[in-house]
Copies of this chain bind each other. A is one copy, B any other.
Amino acid sequence: MPAGDTIHLAPQTGCGLRLARGETLRVISPTGEQVADVAAFAAADPREWLSSGRTIDYGGSIYVETGTILYSNRSTPLLTITADTAGRHDFLLSPCSAEMFRRLYGVEGHHPSCFENLATHLDPLGIPPDAIPTTLNLFMVVTPDPETGRIDISPPSSRPGDHVDLRAEIDLVVGVTACSAELTNNGALKPIDVEVHRL
Contacts and interface: CB of A to CB of B under 8 A. Distances in A.
Contacts of A150: 60-61
Interface residues of A, number: 40
A20 interface: no
A150 B68 CA distance: 13
A198 B141 CA distance: 42
B151 A56 contact: yes
Q: What's the number of copies of this chain in the assembled complex? A: 2
Q: Is the interface of A mostly helix, strand, loop or mixed?
A: loop
Interface string A119-152: 0000000001011111100000001111011110
Contacts of A149: 61-63
A130 B99 CA distance: 25
Interface stretch (A4-12, A44-52, A169-177, A185-193): A44-52
Contact of A94 (B57, B61, B130): B57
A54 B114 CA distance: 13
Lowest 8 CB-CB distances: which A-B pairs, in order?
A63-B149, A53-B94, A53-B134, A75-B99, A61-B149, A47-B130, A62-B149, A54-B94
